[in-house]
Amino acid sequence: MKIHRFFPTTALLALAVVALLTGCRSTSTETEAKKAEALTSDDRQAAERFAREKGEIMLKAMQGGDYDAFVSPLSAAAREKYGKEYFDQLHGQLGKVVAVEYVTSLSSPLFNNYIWKVRCERTGVGEEDKGKTIAFDLLFILSVGKLDAAYTVFGFRFF
């Protein structure tokens, strides 16, 4: 079997993506990560229901520009980390959220990452695209675990 030259590069890229998606989020605090309880197989179904509900709340809030609703599902520590200024900047960069599709989840012992595909549109401001509608897709990743016997949103990331 002939191995193509691009195989090592492709494999390294795939490993990097997996590491990014399953690794600890910079949005969760060290304190919460240390206190997180291991998820059992029974927990995983309930955690997914919880994550999907909270993810939908956050994405609708982003679409509507509602900061308070956006941070409401987050843990207290994560909520402290993301102020109104951060939200406004993120909302401006994303523009209008026009479509949301839940894709999958990735498991780890202490928390799961739940992933949505988010379609956004914004108006271009550069010389080449000024006034044009720019459409793009992102992944929205929500990290959910169990803390003090309750499911908790430890953090999120648009990627």
pLDDT digit string, tens, across residues 115-148: 999 999 998 888 888 889 999 999 999 999 998 8
State the pTM of this model: 0.76
In Å, what is the CA distance from 54 to each residue of 42, 123, 129, 135?
19, 28, 35, 25
Q: How far is CA 109 from the centre of its chain?
A: 18
Instruction: Write down the pLDDT at residue 10.
Output: 35
Nearest Cα neighbor of 124 from 114, 115, 136, 113 is: 136
19: pLDDT confidence band, cut at 50, 70 and 90? very low
Within-domain flag for 105? yes
Confidence of residue 30 (pLDDT cuts 50, 70, 90): low
Mean pLDDT of the chain: 81
Residue 101 has pLDDT above 60, yes or no: yes
In a domain, 23, yes or no: no
CATH number at residue 145: 3.10.450.50
Beta bridge partners of 76: none
DSSP summary character for residue 132? -
For the chain, first and last CA: distance in Å?
A: 35
Q: What total of structural domains would you count in the chain? A: 1
In whole angstroms, what is the distance from residue 134 CA to residue 122 CA? Answer: 5
Query: CA-CA distance, 129 to 159, in Å (whole number)?
Result: 22
Identify the domain containing residue 119 by its residue range: 29-158
In a domain, 5, yes or no: no
Confidence of residue 15 (pLDDT cuts 50, 70, 90): very low
Residue 89 belongs to a domain: yes
